[in-house]
Amino acid sequence: MTRMAKLDRLLSLVYLLSETSDGVTLDDMATALGVNRRTAERMRDVIGLHFDLEEQSDGSRKRFRILGSLRRVYTRPTPEELAALQTEVDARQLEHSPRAALLLSLLAKIKSALDDRERRRLAPDLELLARAHRMMVAAGPTAASDPATLTTVQHAILAGTCVEFDYVREEDEPPQWRRVIPYGVAFGPLTYLVGKMPPREGKPDKEPVLFRFDRMSDVRPSNTLGTAPEDFDLEAWLAESFGIWRDEKHEVCLRVLPHASARAKAWRFHGSQTTEPLPDGGMRIRFAAGGLREMAEHLFSWAGDLVIESPEELKETMSERLRLAAAMVVRDE
């Protein structure tokens, strides 16, 4: 028998097992396919590896059928997938991210779509994997923001309208009213709205700016229309900065010393970086970005492993940060 004929026969058995409500016996399978009972048994075992095959007792005989629709086999989540989503939910909750509520709702919906049999089968593995998965929490900023803020911003983006809110630039300043065109949302340890002030007649056009979610209050949709330009690329816009701070873009050149080349090859300084091997075994890294302060603070962890070749502004910023860092160390007399 050809390979295609065997495949055709196996698919015929899948169809037979999925269409029956009472189930079929091994003898029924053998008769329908024109094979002996042993061959039908082997084919049933293969199908049982990929489909939810139910076994029912009918006196001295056993009947088999595929539970649910065939499509469900390929859309049913695995324990590994559910555990990954649960880990993501836990991590976002630790960060007080506005996405935590959305991810938790998604997880609940996926679980509720499982029938009792699926839940019983997945529960032991899911519980074990969920206990074994944890996100590492690094030191850094953390601030809770209202999940409703994200929902309002998303609705405004979909509706093509501005959003209005009261915003606190600094902790000791009173809130000020803002109306902005929502260009997007940047997620991280803190969540930011990327927004732009609507154009005003006789006033120069302003660039998009970042607004911290946790400093926004009374967020509401506006009656003013406003959408991001079709050619606006949020990822490219964010990549213009090394981190969050936005300032003039600089051409950065770093020379990694030979002993640190292996570490640098496995490190991403910036999404636009290019690398050049050097004759002494070191490497040169180039990229263009703003945010010199964040850049200097990151490069501090590479002290002794690389040299800042340019720009001069980055060298000056690093020198200033080093002077301030030295003041943190108070030696006992």
pLDDT attached to residue 216? 96
Q: In the chain, what are the domain boundaries?
A: 3-73, 77-132, 147-236, 240-326
Could you give the CA distance from residue 327 to residue 293 in angstroms, rounded to a whole number? 17
Between CA 92 and CA 98 the distance in angstroms is 8
Distance CA 269, CA 284 (A): 12
Q: How confident is the prediction along the chain (333 residues), in pLDDT tens digits per residue?
A: 577 888 888 889 888 888 888 889 999 999 999 899 999 999 999 988 888 888 888 777 899 988 877 777 777 888 899 999 999 999 888 888 899 999 999 999 999 888 887 888 888 888 888 888 887 777 777 788 889 999 999 999 999 999 999 999 888 889 999 999 999 999 988 899 999 999 887 777 888 999 999 999 999 999 999 999 999 999 999 988 888 888 889 999 999 999 999 999 999 999 889 999 999 999 999 999 999 999 999 999 999 999 999 999 999 999 999 999 888 887 776
Residue 154 pLDDT: 95
Q: How many residues does the chain have?
A: 333
Q: pTM score, two decimals?
A: 0.74
**Are 272 and 239 within 8 A, CB to CB?**
yes
CB 213 within 8 A of CB 191: yes
Cβ neighbours of 166 (radius 10 Å): 15
* CATH code for the structural domain at 3-73: 1.10.10.10
The pLDDT of residue 1 is: 59
How far is C-alpha 265 from the chain's CA centre? Answer: 24
Options 1.10.3470, 3.30.70, 1.10.287, 1.25.40; CATH for 240-326 is: 3.30.70
Beta strands in the chain (DSSP E): 53-58, 61-66, 161-167, 176-186, 192-196, 209-212, 216-225, 250-256, 274-277, 283-289, 306-310
Output the CATH code of domain 147-236.
2.30.30
